[in-house]
Structure formats: C-alpha cells, structure tokens
Structure 1
Amino acid sequence: MTTGTGVAGAADNLPPKQPLVQDLRTGYKECAAGDARVYVSGAPTLTAVLHDPVEDNRPAEADLVKGEFEAWWTDADGTEQRRSFVTHETPSGTRQQWRMPADDLPPDTVVSWRVRANDGRANSPWSSEGDGSVCEFVYDDDNPEPARISSPEYPEDVLWVDGVGVYGHFTMDSPSDDVVSYQYGFIGGPYGSAVPERPGGPATIPFLPLESGPEQLTVRAVDRSGRSSGETSYRFYVKNGRAPVAHWPLDDAEGASGADAETGTDAQAGAGVTFGGPAPARTALTATATLDGSSHGYLTPGAPAVADPRKSFALSAWVRPAQTDRNMTVVSQDAGESAGPVLGLNARGEAPAWSFTLGAAQVSGGAPETGEWAHLLGVYDAETGKAHLYVNGRETGDPTGADPSAAAGAFQIGRARDGNGYHDRWHGQVGDVKVHDRVVVPAQAAELAYRKPSLRGHWSLETAADGASPDQSGGAPLKLGPGATIYRVPEDSCQPWSDPECVPTPEALVGEGHLALDGETGHATAEGPVVDTSDSFTVGVVVRLADTEPDRPMTVLSLPGQHTDAFKVRYHPGQHAWQLIMPHRDERGAPETVVARVDGYGGEAHRVAVVYDDASDRIRLYVDGQTGAEATADLPNHWQGAGPLQIGRARTGDGWGEHLRGDVDEVHAFAGALTDDDIPFLGSGVEPCFC
C-alpha cells in the first residue's frame, strides 16, 4: 500500500477525495480559524464527511472509507503536542467523528485540527492542504461573570415608577470580555436573546409594561463557548398608565359655545356643533356633541394636543356617524398646511372602513354603520415606528410603519387640514375625545371601549305564584304556559348516604327548584322582548333534556319576530349538537346563520349561552362555558325581534313547535356582550360582577 498523500495503491484505484472545509464541524459549529475560531465549553466532537469516488469495477456499497484526524497545540512549556485518531470504516459520504479526550484538552489554548480519508489503499489529501484550511478551537472552562442591569426609566426597587404604556430600556453588561449574548426574560414574557455590538460589550432591550404591579427581569450572560453565567434579577415596580394629556368629554350643556376640557385647553365650537346629544348606552358618558358635517361643524382648542408627533401617542373617541358614504374626520392635528395624525372614516375603498392616518401610512379596518356607536383608538408606537388602529377595543387592520412629521399645529375635532383649508368634516355624534402621550396597550384599549352589560332579567325558577315565576332583578315574571310547572325538592327528602332505605328524590338543576316542561305544550314567556337582538345581547340557561336520545329537535330559548325567530337555541338529536339559529330577515324561509357545538347526547344538565356582539358583528354559542370556531360566526346588522322571550318552544310556520321535554333553570338575559371570562358564571348561582 502506498502511503504518500494522494497516490493510488493500485492501478485501478482512485484515492479518496480531499475533505471539504465546509463539511467539517467542531461540535455543532462550522470549521473556522484565526479571529473566527470556535470556542467550546467542553471537549468537542470533531466530525467530517468523507468521500471515495465510485469506480466502475466496484459496487457502490464497497466504497468504504475511514478517517484520520489529527490535532495539535503548543503547551505551557512551549512544546508542541499532537494527537491523532483513526475511525472505523463507514460508507462513502457518511459523517465520521472523533470525540476528543476531555482530560487531555488544555484550556484557553488554540487547538488546530485537520482530517483526511483512507479507503484501505490510499489516503486523500489533508483537509488543510491546497485550498483547504485548518480548523481551530479554544476550550473555555470558565463561566462568564453575571450581568449588571440598569434602566433610566425603571430604576431597581423604586416604588412606583412611570407606568403602563411607557417603554423602559434595560441595559445588560457583564464584566467578562467574551460575552456574546444575554438571555433574558420578564415575568410572563417576553423572553429573548440580546446580542452586544462587540464581544464583552453591553446590550440594551426595550420593554413595554402591559400592566401595573411588580415586575422582574432575569438575565444570564452567555460567552462565545456557550457557557452561561449565574442569573441576575432586577426588580422594578410599574405604575398605572399616565392619564390623558388632553380630554374633552363633550358632555357640555345644550347651548354651550365650546367644550370644557377635563385636561388640556378648552375647545371652541363652530356654529355647526350642538351639545346634549345621545351617548352610547352602558358607558359612563351622559351626552355627546353633534356635528352637522358643514364647514361650521368643528371644535378646536387652537393649540396642539400631541406635543411631538414623533414620540408615542394615542387618539381616541366615541363616535356615531350619520352617514358612511364619504370620508370624515373624527380628530386630527394640523402639521403646517397639511394634516398630521388623522382618525376617522375612509370611504374610498370597496366598503367604508375606520382609519388612522399618519403621514403616508394608513391603517384601516372595521365596518362603520350609520347610526351605530363605535369606539376608535389610533396609536403610534415610536419604539416600533408603527401605527395601530383599534375599533371597539380590538385591534384591526395591519400595523403599518409610519414616519410622522415633527410639525405640531392646532388640534381639531371634526375636520382635517388640507392646504389653506379643512376638509372631510364629521357628520354625526362625537364624545369622550382623549389624547395620550404614550402607548395605550391592548387591555386599556378594551377598557376604553367597554360597554358594561346590564341585567335585563334573571329567573331562578325556584318558585311560582299565580302561574308566574318571579324575576330576581325585579322585572316582569316568567309566565308559565300549559305543560309547564315548577319542580321543588321536597323539604323532607331523605339522603341515601344516611338512610339505607331512602328512595332518593330528583335534585333541582340549580338551587331548590327548576322549570319542568312536558314536551307537548309546555313553555314559559317573559313579557316583552327583554333584549334588543339588533344590538349586543347575551342570554344564558341551564337545561337538561329528559330523553337521552330525543326523537326530534327541541328548542330551549327563542325570541320571535312577526314571521320567524330573531334567534333560537335548540338541541338537534341527529347531530348530537346544540345549535344557535339566527335568520337574516324577519321572513319565513329567510337565509340563516347556524352555529353548533357538539355535545353528544341528551339526558345531562348543560349550561348554554348565546352572545351577540354587535360591535364586532360576531355571534357565539357556548355550551358549559366553552365555544369554538365551529360555534362562532360573523353576523352583521342583525334585526330586532319584537316578541316575548320564549322558554321551551320556537316559531314553526303559523304556530309554535319544537317543544322541549325536560328541565330548565337559571335563565339570564343581558343587554351587552359578556366576555369569555364572564360566561362561566351563568348558571352557576353566582352573578358576574363585570368589574
């Protein structure tokens, strides 16, 4: 066998190929040398992909190669040390490896290595020869020192500082000169890695507090070998978000010539503004201003409200448009002879949408409806450089990069600057205009737009007198029809666990009683529609079907119009599912939106709830506190049912049908949409607090 590099051992044998540098690894890191050399935290495994050319007179499986690794370094005495290792034969093209001995590896010393292949008759060139290169690594056996943390906005252990919606900047700096990253985490997130500009340098990260309270940042410094320092903890305490820098409730008395500012400068009103207009229900607002859409329909303090549009800010207001077929401005701020930020309605697209415009950037979304209230919030986050739009407390549209002008002119309500004049004037109501000099975070956006649900009826169905069961909230009772009775647990009922001869009596669904329906004529009604099905509403009930497998659909709740039900909730035995059915018009045979939640079989008690959120045009069906994609649907502009709320039956043709055979308890009705957090309270015997 010939031992010279690259020389064949037989006339018909081709030597193995020279290992390529890009196929070499020190641990999981690519081969590198010089200033780019690899740093490792322990004895590395050196690997290489080795190839032997396929020869015509041999099958491919006969191409076996082994690797010869060689490593060397200079020890503390200046003597060169060399180590080598030969692997077992493996098929050509596979990765071969050498796990270097840990007890022989010197720390903080440059170790060089190379490899070549051997097919049993010839060697390849070394990987370091010709256009190749040696690989180098340094074994680092010391952990870096822990990082120090500082923040100018949120100093450590100071009670209480700045607040929600105001960015803090946290600098992490380890004394070790080989730190290449900092692994960090805040309580509940975010978590991440920050890389300094140079090894051993500091790194700074931004953090936006989303809620008030104690907060903590933990950091570990990581050096170029992958070693981690001990953990550093930094505690700070976040205040509530700063109050608005400008606030016009616009609830001034009728006949007022301007709007008093709760914060900031009073706003003068044009002749097209009248006060004392309606306010959105279930909010703290008592009145709003009405703008007539003319050149006189505006309010202005004559001064900026956003001091520096290049810094973070937010604009918000409650609005109700009188039309949606043209562009209209809710609030804006002058920027020279043009508009700076503009919050309003954009009618230029295929359909009208709410919009927040900042320079050349615009975020649009939502569906304005004539005569319908909406809460708008435009946010500019200077840290990310993006504009955000919230409609009714939910972010809509795609956050868009913006480059706002530095100019800060007079703030405007109801119009936007264009050249020497104003345009896109608002027609409709405006109320509760606020300007913040910070980011308004998502939870606060939802709070600003919150419309507190109000209880319209709660029938616990414990008792009945003169054929009616009282409303616990003081409203009209539920009138019991034929085939409907109130079941009460007998006072002298025994307990099987204490009396072996006891014959147990049925328990009530909730409390001491419930409504029992015979499935033929049994039903109950609440005087009036109770809820407005064209607006947000919630209805909940506890129900138990008498039969495990009913032979027909059975309705537990419905609210009729003249020709069909505005909604009904029923059990469909063929699908083993609860269904919510909402016809699109008060017509027989009208198209319907149907959502369902599979439950399995009847015979068990379930808590069923319907939520219609007119602000988002969404309906949701909950069963035992749970909903899902299949039980949620879009439903814009639903119509108002005028009939009395029905328990246990639905409209069918000219009369009533789908009578429920089973038990009903804890009927709740609310104006407003309950949240996912509120729904579990329904039917539990505990009232939601809407805190």
Structure 2
Amino acid sequence: MTETTSPALVDNTSYRMRVLTEAYWATDRGASGHLQSGWSTWCYFRVDTTGPPPPIITSDDGLYPPAEDSLASGGVGKAGKFRFTPADTNSNLPGIQSDVTSYKWRLNSGRLSAPINVSTGASTTLWVTPNQDMENTLQVWAYDAAMHSSVTAYYSFKVKRAEAPVGKWSLDNSGADSTTAATKRPLTLGGSAVYGTKSRAGSHGLQTNGTTSYAATSTPPVNTLYSYSVSAWARINPGETGGTVVGINGKVYSGFYLAFDKGRWSLITSPLDTMSGNITEQVVVSDQPATTGVWTHLTGVYDSVEKEMRLYVNGRLQGTHAMPASWTATGGLQIGRALWQSEHSGYFAGSIDEVYTWSRALSGDEVAQIATQEDEDASDGYAGDPTTANVASWEATTATGNTIQDASGYGRAMTLNGATIGIDPATADNEALGRPTTNAMALNGSSGYASASGPLVDDTGSFTASAWVRLDSSKVTDASKGYLLQVLGQQGTSNFSWGIWYEQAAGSSAGKWKLGRSSKDAAGSAWSYVSSAPAVKDQWVRLTVVYDAQDATTTGDGDEVSRGTLFLYVNSSKYGNDNGVAFTTPWQGLAKFEVGRGIVDGAVGRYFPGHVRNVRVWAGAMSPSAVGDFFAAEE
C-alpha cells in the first residue's frame, strides 16, 4: 500500500479521481519489469466546508406579501403558498450553481419541520397556514449534502384576524344562528327534541331522545369540498352506545360524522356520496373511551391543503387520517342524527350545546382556545374568562336522613356512609344565645364518608371543584406518625383520578393541603400535586381545585407543546406558582365521587376527621378572579 498527496483542493469544488495498481517483478536470471491493472472507475467527491447562503423566501401565490410592503391579508387559518429558492442560483445561467439539497422551516415559535428534500440546487414550494393575526414570521434554513446549514432566512407577513364562525348555535332556548356572517341558518327542531336546562354554557342546551329527536338547518353552513371545522359540546346519556352529534346531509351519506361510535368519540367521512361509498375507511377515534353522563368538547377538522382530517377531544389532538378527496354535502346541518345510505339514523341520546362551524381548518391552538368556552358577556365582569357549568352541588342544610340532594339539576344525590349531619362547630354556641345555627357534614376520621354516583366531569377536560373544610386538630396530634387525609376526589379502580387531601409528615405538627392527580389507575402510579402553605386547623377554609386541560406548557425551543395544568386555591390564595403544576396525562375515573376518603394502590382509606360543607363541582376551569369572587360571596 502506498500514500499520495493531492494538490491543494479548493472549497466548494467537485473533483474526481481514479487509481490503478502496479506490481514490480524480477527473476533469478536478472529479468524485471512492471505489471499494471486497468484503471478503477471514477470516484467523485466534493470539498465543502461552508454552508449555503440563506435562501430567498417569496409568496408564490401573492396572498401574503412582505410585511414592510403591505397591509394585513388572508386570515388566520387561511393557507398561503411560499417558495424557497437557493440564494446562489442564477436562473439566467445554465446548469446547477447551488449545492442546496434540502430545507427546514418554522412558523413563529412553532415546531421545526422535518427536512424537505429537493434536487441539488432546486427551489421548492410549501403551503403554510398562519396561526396568529398581524405579523407572522417564517424562518427557513437551506442545507447542502454535507448537512451544513445556512444562517436563518426570515420572511415576515401580516395576517388578518381569524375568520369568525360561519354558523353559531348556542341553543339557549332557541335555534337562532348568532354568527356575524351575512347568511343566517336557524335550526328547526324535529322528533320531540327540546331545549332543556342541562347546558354547558348559557341557559339551555338541546335535549335529544336517541330515537327521533334532532335539530336541522335547511342549507349547509360550510362547503365540505374545501377546508372546514365543526365543534360542539356533547353529553351522552349513561348506557348509550352510539349516536351522531353533528353532520351535514349529502345524498347518500353525511359529509362528515362527529359522533359517539363503538364507545369512542369519532370523526368519520365517506370517500364518496354514492352507494359505493362507506364510512369505515376514513375514521379518526379518540385515545380514550368516551365517558357518558359528562360534558365533553369535540372538534372535527378537514384540511384541504394537507388532505387530512383531524379529531380533537377537549382541545387535545386525538389523531389524523389522510383524506385525499372530498365532496360537497348539499343538505342541511343535522344536530343529533346523520344520513347513512339515504336514511336518517345514528340518533343521539343526551344533550348537545354550543355548536359552531367554520369555513377553514382550525389550528390546534385555536381548537384549545375554543374548548375553554370563553365568556362572551361583556356585562358580567368575566368576559374572556372560561365559562363553567355547575354539574353537582350538595348543601348539608338540605339533607334528609342519610341523603343530600343535588341542587345542580343533574340529580346525583349524595349518600352518607357513616358520615352524619350535625351543627357546624363554628355556630354551636349560637343555639344557647338564640342565634341561628348551620349544618355541616361530620366525618369521624375512621370510617365515615359520603358518596355520589360518578363521574361528574370529564377528567380529561377542564373542571373545578370546591368545598368548605374544617380539620379537627384533635385527630392529628400524634407526631410519631404521618397523616394522609382525603377531603374529596373522583375514585377509580385502584387510585383516585384527582382529589384534595391533608398531608402531615411524621415528626411534624403542621401539615399542608394538597391537590393531586395520578398518572394511571394502577399500582405504582406517579403523582403530580400542588401544596399549600401550612394548613390551619379548627377553622373553616374554602379549598378549590382547578384542572385547566387547555393550558399550554412549552418545552425545548418552544416547539413542543403539552396541555394540562393543576391549580390549588385556599380561600382566594393560589398556591404552587402563577403557572400551576403541569399534568398532561389525565385519565378518567369511573367509580364514585367521594367525600372523606380515597383509594390509592387499591387500598381504601385516608379517612378525613372534621367537617365539610358546600361541596360543588363544575365543568370548565374557573378563573382566579371567579374563584376569588366566589369565596368573597360565601365568606
């Protein structure tokens, strides 16, 4: 083997080389010579120690010109076509001048894209959907074959506000369409459907019987040939197995089915509106089984640019499915039923509320925002805050025998199991003075508890729970042992899904209130929790737990987003920190809601000693100002 050194090589230059072998021979008679092989094939290589220049970004369809040259155009959720071109390419010259082989891009602070591979020196086009109004910034990097990156190329453009819903039915004792669009499409009730008082927002929601009930418009609010989105709140009656929440009639099939199907939430479409079509090929289902008897937010999206359908449950993406072709459903919007092989079926049994449609594909951030169900009443002082719906309310003063009636209207009576109703210790001396006394639930710390049929809320969505609590100091005096004492929680099979408890370590005379959630309904679960300051004993405090399923936490370079945050309030003070404690893996507890005890690793215990009153639960994440105002009103 031998080595040789080439002349100095020039950067950004392509070379080729080939070799042959040569052998020297000699004999004992003095003869000698050389033998040579044939030449090898050529070996091509390029010397490249520098990255390409930043690429040139242009609006290929003209929808989003540079920010410095134009006013806002397009709209949030309206895709524009952009072109990325190597900066060292001259279209007037023959051949390839650039060594760019791929691009990566990012919009605003979103996720960095996967590489977009191109032929050497070629440009590429890309559809980009802006996710915020006013200025958006596209960042692009060019790469050569050695994966040297260019510096960042920037392109800023201005975007109009997101297009408002083109259909908006709040169902508050009326089928009126409250959209700001020029064309209104009111609903007509059919088949014994009524506007009932079980609602997720406002005063009423649509109640359907699962056999004949529905509400419908006469014309479609969106053209299903192009991008569209639809959202609704749904509450399935316990015991039901299926039903369509929203669809739009075609001739044979619905243009889409936002539905409860085979025990899960689903977004379903048929590739054709003919008898040769079907509703089994294009389906996205929820990650977890649907929970009956609770309010759940659903959003279905068709993105005609990406040729993709997406399902969101409580603001979280559940999955996607390719949808290479679409068609126009020309019939009316159907709430509570669908069209299958030219016959109406799939009647929904339960409650439906706040149905919205858009003529565009919503972004994930927009879906999460919509799932908060913002208060739109500018006169109530909570405009922009999440809307909550009271789904359980138990007052000790209404107890009869061993039962406390539910004042929320959802009819879940609470049963006392060893717990008793007695005079509030804070008013015990009033009776002798001729003053009024109040009642409270008394818990003995060893066997007493109360329970109601659960679940009360969708544990994967946002919810709020509160209670007034008074801890009996005489039951936590043994400093040689620790105490874990459950105030309330939603029980599962092995663990409670969420709950509030008092925790006091061995060797200490002081403890804290804690709000926590478990990562799974099985032994060995990890726990996420928020702790309070040292808890007071023998005094009433109002404990409030808030789980905000839509609250976002960003990680890495800001391109990873997870959702779900825990907040704990004692009276009106929030604990943990302003951002709460992230909890992004919620699961649904399906057993009873209990006051005064809990279950961990399959063992029931943690009996609470003291008194509890005014236990309430809401669907939705109560805002800090609402928590404070509620406390002030009851203090």
TM-score tier by shorter-chain length is 0.5 to 0.7
- CA-CA distance at 1:313 after TM superposition: 1.2
Which 5+ residue runs of structure 2 have no aligned equivalent? 27-35, 89-96, 271-280, 374-385, 391-422, 429-443, 458-462, 537-541, 551-563, 569-574, 598-603
Q: Structure 1's 610 and 293: CA in aligned 2 closer, same or farther, altered over 3 A?
A: closer
Question: Larger Rg: 1 or 2?
Answer: 1
Q: Do structure 1's residue 356 and structure 2's residue 267 form an aligned pair?
A: yes
User: Mapping of 1:473-552 within 5 angstroms?
Assistant: 534-535=456-457, 536-539=463-466, 551-552=481-482
The question of 1:156 aligning with 2:85 is answered: no
Counterpart of 1:154, as a letter, is: Y
Corresponding residue number in structure 2 for 1:305: 221
Q: Confirm or deny: 8 A CA contact 2:102 2:118 kept in the other structure.
A: no
Structure 1 residues 186-201: aligned runs within 5 Å: 186-192=107-113, 195=116, 197-201=118-122
Q: Give the distance between the partners of 1:595 and 1:232, measured in 2 at CA.
A: 46
Q: Paired residue for 2:196?
A: 277
Is 1:241 matched with 2:155? no
1:366-377 to 2 correspondences below 5 Å = 366-377=288-299
1:169 is matched with 81
- Comparing 337-346 with 423-432, greater Cα deviation is found at 423-432
Query: Is residue 162–residue 239 contact of structure 1 (8 Å, CA) maintained in 2?
Result: yes
Residue 340 of structure 1 is matched in structure 2 by: 255
Within-5 A mapping of 1:376-395: 376-395=298-317
Change (3 A) 1:145 1:659: closer
Counterpart of 1:292 (choices 178, 187, 209) is: 209
Question: What's the secondary structure of 1:445's corresponding residue?
Answer: helix
- Whether the aligned pair in 1 keeps the contact of 2:138 and 2:155 (CA below 8 Å) is yes
Q: Deviations over 1:11-44 (max 9, x none)?
A: xxxxxxxxxxxxxxxxxxxxxxxxxxxxxxxxxx
Please state how far the C-alpha of 1:190 moved relative to its aligned partner.
3.1
Match of 2:371 in 1: 449
- Determine the C-alpha separation between the residues in 1 that align with 2:268 and 2:303: 13
1:266 and 2:185 equivalent?
A: yes
Q: Post-superposition shift, 1:163?
A: 2.8
Q: Give the total of aligned pairs.
A: 483
Q: Which letter does structure 1 place at the counterpart of 2:503?
A: Y
The aligned counterpart of 2:321 is 400
Contact 2:196–2:207 under 8 Å retained in 1: yes
Identity %: 22
Give, as a single letter, the amino acid of the residue that structure 1 aligns with 2:196: G
Q: Using a 3 Å threshold, how does the CA distance of structure 1 residues 548 and 202 change in structure 2: closer, same or farther?
A: farther
Structure 2 counterparts to residues 178-193 of structure 1, below 5 A: 178=98, 179-192=100-113
Task: Name the counterpart of 1:635.
Answer: 589
Worse-superposed segment, 603-612 or 439-448: 603-612
The equivalences for 1:452-471 within 5 A come to 452=386
Residue 220 to residue 443, structure 1, CA distance change in 2 (3 Å) = closer
Within 5 Å, give how 1:12-91 maps onto structure 2. Answer: 67-69=1-3, 84-85=4-5
Structure 1, residues 151-197: CA drift from partner, whole Å, max 9, x if none? 23322103423333222322111353323333433331333465464
In structure 2, what is the Cα distance between the partners aligned to 1:316 and 1:385? 19
List per-residue Cα deviations over 1:429-469 (Å, max 9, x = no partner).
3232211111222232223222536699xxxxxxxxxxxxx
Matched to 2:483, the amino acid is: P
The amino acid that maps onto 2:82 is F
Residue 68 of structure 1 aligns to a residue whose secondary structure is coil
Q: Which amino acid aligns with 1:234?
A: Y
- TM-score normalised according to structure 2 size: 0.59
Q: Distance in 2 between matches of 1:554 and 1:228?
A: 56
The residue number in structure 2 matching 1:113 is 17
Q: 1:327 aligns with which of 242, 246, 260?
A: 242
Alignment map for 1:127-138 (pairs within 5 Å)? 132-138=40-46
1:624 aligned residue: 576
Match in the other structure for 1:61: none
CA distance in 1, matches of 2:343, 2:389: 48
Name the counterpart of 2:483: 553
Question: Is it true that 1:147 corresponds to 2:81 in the alignment?
Answer: no
Contact 2:173 2:196 in 1 (8 A): no
In the TM superposition, what is the alpha-carbon distance from 1:579 to its structure 2 partner?
7.1
Match of 1:23 in 2: none
CA distance, structure 2, for counterparts of residue 142 and residue 594 of structure 1? 52
The reply to whether residue 420 of structure 1 matches residue 352 of structure 2 is no
Give CA-to-partner distance per residue, 1:384-442, whole Å, 9 cap, x none: 3222222222233x322224442322133222222332111223332322111112222
| Offset from partner CA, 1:125-165 (integer Å, 9 cap, x none) | xxx96694232234469975543212233221034233332
> SS at 2:165's partner residue?
coil
Contact 1:324 1:368 in 2 (8 A): no
The CA distance in 1 between the partners of 2:266 and 2:455, in whole Å, is 28
1:579–1:594 CA contact under 8 A, matched in 2: no
- Residue 15 of structure 2 aligns with an amino acid whose one-letter code is V
Supply the AA of the counterpart residue of 1:293: G
What is the root-mean-square deviation in Å for CA atoms of aligned residues?
Answer: 5.8
- One-letter amino acid of the counterpart of residue 639, structure 1: F
When structure 1 is superposed on structure 2, of 438-447 and 573-582 the one drifting more is 573-582
- CA distance 1:175–1:300, shift in 2 (3 Å): same
SS in 1 for 2:2: strand
Q: How far apart are 1:635 and its partner, in Å? A: 1.4
Deviation of the 1:111 alpha carbon: 3.2
CA-to-partner distance for each residue in 1:636-662, whole Å, 9 max, x for gaps?
Answer: 354365x9x9xxxxxx99xx97669xx
Q: Offset at 1:547?
A: 9.4
CA distance in 2, matches of 1:602, 1:345: 40
Counterpart residue type for residue 357 of structure 1: I
Q: CA distance change for structure 1 residues 593 and 161 in 2, over 3 Å: closer, same or farther?
A: farther
Q: In the alignment, what sits opposite 2:231?
A: 316
User: Matched residue of 1:191: which SS?
Assistant: coil
Matched letter for residue 252 of structure 2: E
Q: Is the 8 A contact 2:20 2:40 kept in 1?
A: no
The secondary structure found in structure 2 opposite 1:444 is: helix
Q: What is the distance in 2 between the residues matched to 1:364 and 1:455?
A: 26
Whole-angstrom distance in 2 between the partners of 1:638 and 1:614: 22
The TM-score normalised by the length of structure 1 is: 0.55
Which of 547, 564, 569 is the matching residue for 2:501? 569
CA distance in 2 between partners of 1:166 and 1:435 (Å)? 15
Equivalent residue letter for 1:393: G
